[in-house]
Amino acid sequence: MTGFASLPPVTAAEAGGDTPAQLLQGELEVLQDIRGVLSGGQFTVLTGAGLSTDSGIPDYRGPGAAPRMPMTYQEFIGEPGNRQRYWARNHIGWSHLRRADPNHGHAAVARLEHRGLLTGLITQNVDRLHEDAGSINVVDLHGRFDQVVCLDCHRRFSRRMLAGILEELNPGFLERAEAAGAIEMAPDADATVEDSELIESFVVARCPACGGTLKPDFVYFGENVPKDRVERAYAMVDAARALLVAGSSLTVMSGLRFVRHAAKQGKAVVIINRGPTRGDDLATIKLDSGVSGALSWLAAELPPL
């Protein structure tokens, strides 16, 4: 657990994460093999929550992550009490996640794209740090945390605007949450809060346009990824010579399907992740390591096409 009071804004200087100089000799040897696999053609990058941990955003399943399950779509739409609990936690989580900066890994992926080495980037993260780092051709597979959508009129609104509304509806809430302490963050801007009385006092905002139910504009567990995003991501993989997975355990099918698709087509699959993944048996080569330093090394060492 991390106390809310101990979560300062993450600055660009502090968000670097591991660097190539910190890589072990064994990791460098594997990276040299990966360089050989990825050289000579464009590749697609698929990223997960493990890439953003160096920006101060915890993941769900990496080493040291506390076991927890996010709220499902069915739970969110099923009970007003669930939505109250979620939005109270999200209001706290947003106040931290919005201050995170891209790390060396995000910057490395942007450099790979700018050098013309990528067919595109598929990310399972909703934090928008790839875009902040300068990546352009990005499929935000699971959506984006900086927008909310009305389930009734389908209008979209800025999460920053909603934060202002929630602060007006719940004056002093964040200060009371900070005083309560023992708040655990999650990569989807959720936060686990033990104080049930605090949660029950939270006033949920309605859609400013129609008064309907607002939902963060990202894909919940139990909800399908929009078809157009999936098709665009498949097209990136189809156009690539290889697929590089960075910082994803591939636990959910939304990401694993692209690994299976690439392997079925006979394309090279490279996985860089700290810990096992569901795609390890399909990998051409696997590096068990943090991703920021590895990606930075590749961005510097991969030859131009």
pLDDT digits (tens, 9 = 90+) for 156-197: 999 999 999 999 999 999 888 877 765 666 666 666 666 788
Report the percentage of the chain scoring pLDDT > 90: 69
Name the pTM for this structure.
Answer: 0.87
Residue 108 has pLDDT above 60, yes or no: yes
Q: Are 62 and 201 in contact (CB under 8 A)?
A: no
Q: Which residue in the list 114, 130, 142, 261 is annotated as catalytic?
A: 142
Q: Are 205 and 216 in contact (CB under 8 A)?
A: no
**Residue 112 neighbours by CB under 8 Å, 6+ apart:** 45, 118, 295, 298, 299, 302
pLDDT tens per residue across span 11-66: 333 345 566 767 888 999 999 999 999 999 999 999 999 999 999 887 655 555 45
**Angle, helix 80-97 to helix 173-180, in steps of 10 degrees:** 80
Q: In the predicted model, is pLDDT for residue 247 greater than 60?
A: yes
When the pLDDT of each residue in the chain is averaged and rounded to a whole number, the result is 87
Q: What is the C-alpha to C-alpha distance for residues 87 and 151, in angstroms, rounded to an integer?
A: 15
What superfamily does domain 23-57+102-142+225-305 belong to in CATH?
A: TPP-binding domain (3.40.50.1220)
In the residue annotation, 142 being an active-site residue is answered as yes
* Of residues 74, 4, 13, 78, the one with CA closest to residue 224: 74
For the cut 90, the answer to whether the pLDDT of residue 76 exceeds it is yes
How far apart are the C-alpha atoms of 89 and 266, rounded to whole Å?
44
pLDDT at 8 over 50: no
**Per-residue model confidence (pLDDT) at position 12:** 38
Domain ranges of the chain: 23-57+102-142+225-305, 67-99+146-218
CA distance 238 to 231: 10
